[in-house]
Structure 1
Amino acid sequence: MPAGLGEFLRSRRERLTPEAVGLPLGRRRRTPGLRREEVAELAGIGVDWYIRLEQGRTVRPSVATVDALAAALRLDDTERAHLGLLAQQTVRPLFVRETVPAAVKAVIAGLDQPAYATGRRWDVLAWNDAARELFTDFDACAPDDRNILVYLLLDPATRKLFGRGWAVMARHTVAQFRAAHDVWAGDPLFTSLAARLSAGSPQFRAWWEDHDISVGRGSGRKVLHHPIRGTVAYDFANFQANDEPAVRLTVFTPAG
């Protein structure tokens, strides 16, 4: 069983207090959160079996057990779905960056509006001239720097570009990356990216320790403070490529 399941269970156990689940505080606790035996009791499962789950050992919880754990840990709908996904995982092959279908590349290149394609690791896989002009020159970036998380968290210019909206957007993107990282827990390309971001960004380190997860937004609006255009607003929409579902196309349109 991949390590992502155990890490996620532990993060959710450690954020709960006894009072939050109706348990007496009891004696002083040396570590934050609930004890493993308390979660097991709340979920109605054996303590040893729950410990095996947190340790990432080869056990596969049933749907009923996942539901019981979700209730015990007070998970919301997004977290419950994530737990269910992790519980179904088997050992994966090594991650390989996605390939953008030729037709999608042609669509991106042919658009006048800024557009780019990203993969599960938030690598920027394709872009057009309008995106390069609005955000950054992806052509000039080293391949490992063509990544939305690297751009948001390690390039100081992005804080000026996104202004007051930077922190909310960056934290939401980290939560989306955390969800993908859990699924690919232990994969070298995911762990190396997380390590690079942790080394270079105090904000990333703090948000990463919170272990928040999120699903992507299909659309929204961003207000940018461009060095040449000034303050401009763009509506954006995300689209999934049918030929490669892991590839996501993002298109920006000037807000009316």
Structure 2
Amino acid sequence: MTATMPERAPERTGPARTDGDVRRGELAAFLRSRRERITPEQVGLPRGARRRTPGLRREEVAHLSAVGVTWYTWLEQARDIKVSPQVLDAVARALQMDRAERGHLFALAGVTDPVRGSECTGVSPAMRQMLDRLTPFPAAVQNSRFDLLAYNSTYGRLLCDLDALPEEDRNCLWLAFTNEEWRASLVDLDKTLRVMAAKFRASMAGHVAEPPWKAMVARLEAASPEFREIWARQEVVRPVSQSKLFRQRDVGLLRLSSTNLYTGPSQGPKMITYTPDDEATREKLEQLQALTRAAG
């Protein structure tokens, strides 16, 4: 007789891991790695003779963050618990996370960073060099609040003389509603104003409680009835690259395509570049560059 092997019973498996499980596991591992790299001396704690844990203990992180030890332990155990932005902020500070690490922490937790809008306003020398090398194409670095952080010489004269303005007025939304020379340069003024206000409202969704954003809205509402009327419509739109028409006072009509190159997280600082749509515009940009050099 031929022996037959018994059929193998199917292997028992646990429940499939969900996206939430994976995210919590990554968050737990990330927190452990950050905790283990911080020495007690870095946070003003005594090392002690019997320390065997690399870096900080869980209870020390909980103490520094002013959260419960059990809660923080559950966080490192990838438990399914609710995490508030305020507590994550405290943990990030206790573990001395830099901007990249902090962003990663909040992304893994699926929580909006309460200080995400505090963008770095510095522009590196390398980026300034890039702006200059793009001349005669207009280019600028702008944050999500429409503040102009830096620009090249062509952009500086594209819509008005930016160098002649106080730094606090170098904001595209402010200029579009209050500066007559800037407004005269916008061929389709009404549409541009509505789109800019809608973009600003969309960006502000993550910054509604931040003083600089609220102050900008209050300043515009006080200065421009036109802004008040448009703002009350509650319109929002996502930022997109597009072709634009400008009427530059010295060289005439310019047809330009804008491109946004983000320097950090989306909706953060970005480099805006304008390239000519036709040869006539290219020649006019070169004329504008020559005029700018002559004036300088």
TM-score, normalised to structure 2, is 0.52
Alignment of 1:251 with 2:276, yes or no, is no
Q: Does the 8 Å CA contact 1:98/1:246 hold for their aligned counterparts? A: no
Q: Does the 8 Å CA contact 1:222/1:234 hold for their aligned counterparts? A: yes
Kindly provide the CA deviation profile for residues 166-214 of structure 1, in whole angstroms up to 9, marking residues without a partner as x: 1112211111111222211121111111011111112211121122111
Q: How big is the shift at 1:254?
A: 2.0
Instruction: Map 1:1-256 to 2 at 5 A.
Output: 88-89=111-112, 91-92=114-115, 95-96=118-119, 98-112=121-135, 113-163=137-187, 165-217=188-240, 219-242=241-264, 246-256=268-278
Q: 1:200 to 1:188 in 2, by over 3 A?
A: same
CA-based RMSD of the aligned residues comes to 2.5
Amino acid corresponding to residue 155 of structure 1 in structure 2: N
Q: What percentage of residue pairs aligned between the two structures are identical?
A: 24
Q: CA–CA distance in 2 between the matches of 1:94 and 1:225?
A: 33
Regions of 4+ moved over 4 Å: 242-245
Amino acid corresponding to residue 244 of structure 2 in structure 1: K
Give unpaired runs (5+ residues) of structure 1: 1-58, 61-86
Q: Does the 8 Å CA contact 2:242/2:259 hold for their aligned counterparts? A: yes
Q: How big is the shift at 1:91?
A: 3.8
Q: How big is the shift at 1:141?
A: 1.5
Q: Does the 8 Å CA contact 1:116/1:126 hold for their aligned counterparts? A: yes
Q: CA–CA distance in 2 between the matches of 1:178 and 1:198?
A: 14
Kindly provide the CA deviation profile for residues 3-46 of structure 1, in whole angstroms up to 9, marking residues without a partner as x: xxxxxxxxxxxxxxxxxxxxxxxxxxxxxxxxxxxxxxxxxxxx
Q: 1:243 to 1:182 in 2, by over 3 A?
A: closer
Q: 1:89 to 1:105 in 2, by over 3 A?
A: same
Q: 1:209 to 1:97 in 2, by over 3 A?
A: farther
Q: 1:105 to 1:195 in 2, by over 3 A?
A: same
Q: CA–CA distance in 1 between the matches of 2:264 and 2:119?
A: 18
Q: CA–CA distance in 2 between the matches of 1:215 and 1:93?
A: 18
Kindly provide the CA deviation profile for residues 103-130 of structure 1, in whole angstroms up to 9, marking residues without a partner as x: 2221012211110010021100010001
Kindly provide the CA deviation profile for residues 82-112 of structure 1, in whole angstroms up to 9, marking residues without a partner as x: xxxxx95364377355222332221012211
Q: Does the 8 Å CA contact 1:100/1:247 hold for their aligned counterparts? A: no
Q: CA–CA distance in 1 between the matches of 2:127 and 2:251?
A: 28
Q: Does the 8 Å CA contact 1:124/1:146 hold for their aligned counterparts? A: yes
Amino acid corresponding to residue 157 of structure 2 in structure 1: E
Q: 1:244 to 1:90 in 2, by over 3 A?
A: closer
Kindly provide the CA deviation profile for residues 217-247 of structure 1, in whole angstroms up to 9, marking residues without a partner as x: 1x21111222211222112211112599721
Amino acid corresponding to residue 128 of structure 2 in structure 1: K
TM-score, normalised to structure 1, is 0.60
Q: CA–CA distance in 2 between the matches of 1:215 and 1:185?
A: 17
Kindly provide the CA deviation profile for residues 32-85 of structure 1, in whole angstroms up to 9, marking residues without a partner as x: xxxxxxxxxxxxxxxxxxxxxxxxxxx99xxxxxxxxxxxxxxxxxxxxxxxxx
The number of residues matched between the two structures is 170
Q: 1:243 to 1:91 in 2, by over 3 A?
A: closer
Give unpaired runs (5+ residues) of structure 2: 1-81, 84-109, 279-296
Whose RCO is larger (CA < 8 A, sep 6+)? 1
Question: What secondary structure sits across from 1:177 in the alignment?
Answer: helix
